[in-house]
Amino acid sequence: MVNSGFVPDQYMMNRVLLMHVRCGMMIDARKLFDEMPKRNLVSWNTIIGGLVDSGDYIEAFRLFLVMWEEFSDAGSRTIATMIRASAGLELLFPGRQLHSFALKMGVGGDIFVSCALIDMYSKCGSIEDAQFVFDEMPEKTTVGWNSIIAGYALHGYSEEALNMYYEMQDSGVKMDHFTFSIIIRVCTRLASLEHAKQAHAGLVRHGFGLDIVANTALVDFYSKWGRIEDARNVFEKMTRKNVISWNALIAGYGNHGRGIEAVELFERMLREGMVPNHVTFLAVLSACSYSGLSDHGWEIFESMGRDHKIKPRAMHYACMIELLGREGLLDEAFALISDAPFQPTLNMWAALLTACRVHKNLVLGKFAAEKIYGMEPEKLGNYVMLLNIYNSSGKLEEAAAVVQALKRRGLRMLPACTWIEIKKEPHGFLSGDKCHVQKKEIYEKLDKLMLEISKHGYVPEGKTLLPDVDEREERMLLYHSEKLAVAFGLINTSHSTPLQLVQSHRICGDCHNAIKLIAMVAGREIVVRDSSRFHRFKDGSCSCGDYWCVYENINKDEIQKLFPNEVLPELQRLLTLLLQKFQREWREDVFKDPVTLPRLKAMTWNMANQDAESTDPVAVINLKLQNDAQSNPGEMDVKFQLAKDTLETMLKSMYCIRDQLSNNE
């Protein structure tokens, strides 16, 4: 057009400007706009809209003010565009000014302006104003309904969003694929399987069964709530898949502890020509971490920069740190943090701390806990985590200082709450809750479950402070909110129905162990989404692999890692003495009971030595410690101290069994 000498008119110049904007060529579009000999409102709206769409909100506001000085006029489209700019900046003040401006210009009831206002108020944190604008709309369109539902969902008002969805249904307004996508995401947060199934059916019924956005939301929902096979079925039926669809299913397999399937799906994704992004690598590396697939994990991690030109981020490093931590390679994990090409993040130190707690490396764990504490001094969980480390390492003065810091800052853990949905009705439980109308049946059911799982080796854990559990809850160990919710769910659902729970805090170790066994004895699948991660309990195991929990019951393999060969024979002899001491103090016939013996085997292993002398095992260890301190005051001293701690833990557990059985009699 330029080479031919053609001089376009105003309409043609606006069309050329629009072409550049639509193609994302904003530098050329801005140059063309500045060189236009004449500009009308269409020209200004086009360039301002392009700036807003490209995220250059400040420049959009500057041009809007220049336009106002030139024309002193603006239509509803311009105002709606500038309201979107306010939403992008998340600034309420200019948004309110534009709202007032729209009312003065007589376009306050315009559909586009109203929908933009609802979106702006929602993103700026004023959901009440968004609801007011929605209520004042003369005609509530599909976009208007979607905007207010999305606003409630954005701020965590999931139940309100679901209620608005059903109001939209009753109003007769046509729903689109965005409506169903939003609701499915709301159901994911609420763990509402029944509502999600209805939304899935509505999606198909309204002709959006092949929509890529809504189906990806379904894959995400089903994979997060224990329906990985349903997620796979939806995924395979999708005629078109984007990278988000692949990411959702890969992450789903990882959450279910099925790392091999996650890696296979990732490799299939590459074969089909889909280009992975950083989220893809986060999903597959997390899957490798959860399943302990070290070789696969390192190969994929190294391929990020080598084959895909994606620079690993902090979250990818955190996955590799956790992978090293699972193998007990704590020095290598610490080296990876130190060698990272950026400042270590909170998640990286948290992954190292978890590994230190599992493998009882108190020195490195203390260092990691102090790093986390320094990064988030206002987070209560960090104080309690640091307190655990100090208590475990015998640093009582430092532990007392942490407690004093908690008191000074006025920090206090809110009680944990667990929700479960039965027949589309949510039910919430606190620890020791006595407010539910079915409290009698719930407690009776839970007591029966506790007795039943005790036959399979369950022993209540002793008092341990976890990051998300306060002291009041520790006193109600047997009646934590998770257990009450599970008992309630078992009472009110059929035998084939899986249970979905949402926990506000992190599930404690005792509840984790208990729910594993409850899922086994009840023949149920129980899914728990806590503040840390996803847990799918089935047939006595959990999808998380139990890695996050620090076990007090140490098995033979773990003891072999802790103690050198010269210590093991002495430790085995002392464990035999421990069992004999326990037999002498209580009726011998109880050890022939088929219930008690498996429970003892769950904490230790059978000993071949039946001729050990009848001596107090703890006293023997103390004597051995004294002798070793004189001859070899180094490593052996520490090893036998760990042995002593192990035996004392087992002794407490055995006494707990005795007391429980005595009470049951």
DSSP line for 289-322: HHHT-HHHHHHHHHHHHHHS-----HHHHHHHHH
* Alpha carbon separation from 289 to 227, 314, 377 (Å, rounded): 21, 15, 28
Please give the residue that has the higher pLDDT: either 262 or 358: 262
Structure tokens at 385: 């985590």
* 90, 123 Cβ separation under 8 angstroms: yes
Q: How confident is the model at residue 460 (pLDDT cuts 50, 70, 90)?
A: confident
Please give the residue that has the higher pLDDT: either 188 or 142: 142
Question: At how many degrees (to 10) do helices 509-522 and 439-454 cross?
Answer: 90
Please give the residue that has the higher pLDDT: either 411 or 92: 92
Average pLDDT, the chain: 78
Cα–Cα distance for residue pair 506/527, rounded to 1 Å: 14
pLDDT at res. 113? 92
* 369, 353 Cβ separation under 8 angstroms: yes
Closest CA to 419 of 357, 501, 348: 501
Whether 564 shows a pLDDT value over 70: the answer reads no
Which of 291-295, 398-402, 418-422, 529-533 is the least confident region? 529-533
Whether 117 shows a pLDDT value over 90: the answer reads yes
Structure tokens at 532: 């840390």
468-527 pLDDT, tens digit per residue, is 444 444 445 678 888 999 999 999 999 888 898 888 777 877 888 899 999 999 999 898
Residue with tokens 């984790």: 512
Whether 276 shows a pLDDT value over 90: the answer reads yes
Cα–Cα distance for residue pair 652/348, rounded to 1 Å: 35
Whether 255 shows a pLDDT value over 50: the answer reads yes
Which of 67-81, 119-133, 165-179 is the least confident region? 67-81
Q: How confident is the model at residue 530 (pLDDT cuts 50, 70, 90)?
A: confident
Q: Residue type for 110, please?
A: D
pLDDT at res. 146? 92
* 61, 82 Cβ separation under 8 angstroms: yes
pLDDT at res. 633? 46
Which of 207-211, 304-308, 396-400, 553-557 is the least confident region? 553-557
Which of 180-189, 263-272, 588-597, 653-662 is the least confident region? 588-597
Q: How confident is the model at residue 613 (pLDDT cuts 50, 70, 90)?
A: very low
Which of 42-51, 313-322, 583-592, 639-648 is the least confident region? 583-592
Whether 327 shows a pLDDT value over 60: the answer reads yes
In the chain, what are the domain boundaries? 417-542, 556-664
Whether 3 shows a pLDDT value over 70: the answer reads no
Whether 591 shows a pLDDT value over 50: the answer reads no
Q: Residue type for 177, please?
A: H
Whether 555 shows a pLDDT value over 60: the answer reads no
* Alpha carbon separation from 101 to 71, 79, 94, 129, 250 (Å, rounded): 15, 8, 10, 16, 48
pLDDT at res. 647? 54
Whether 272 shows a pLDDT value over 50: the answer reads yes
DSSP sequence for 213-281: HHHHHHHHHHHHTT-HHHHHHHHHH-SS--HHHHHHHHHHHHHTT-HHHHHHHHHHHHHTTPPP-HHHH
- φ and ψ of 194, to 5 deg: -65, -45
Q: How confident is the model at residue 427 (pLDDT cuts 50, 70, 90)?
A: confident
Q: Which residues does 510 contact at the CB level (< 8 Å), separation at least 6?
A: 460, 461, 477, 480
Please give the residue that has the higher pLDDT: either 47 or 393: 47
β-strands 499-503, 526-529 pairing: parallel
Please give the residue that has the higher pLDDT: either 644 or 551: 644
Q: What is the mean pLDDT of residues 450-478?
A: 63
pLDDT at res. 4? 60
pLDDT at res. 370? 82
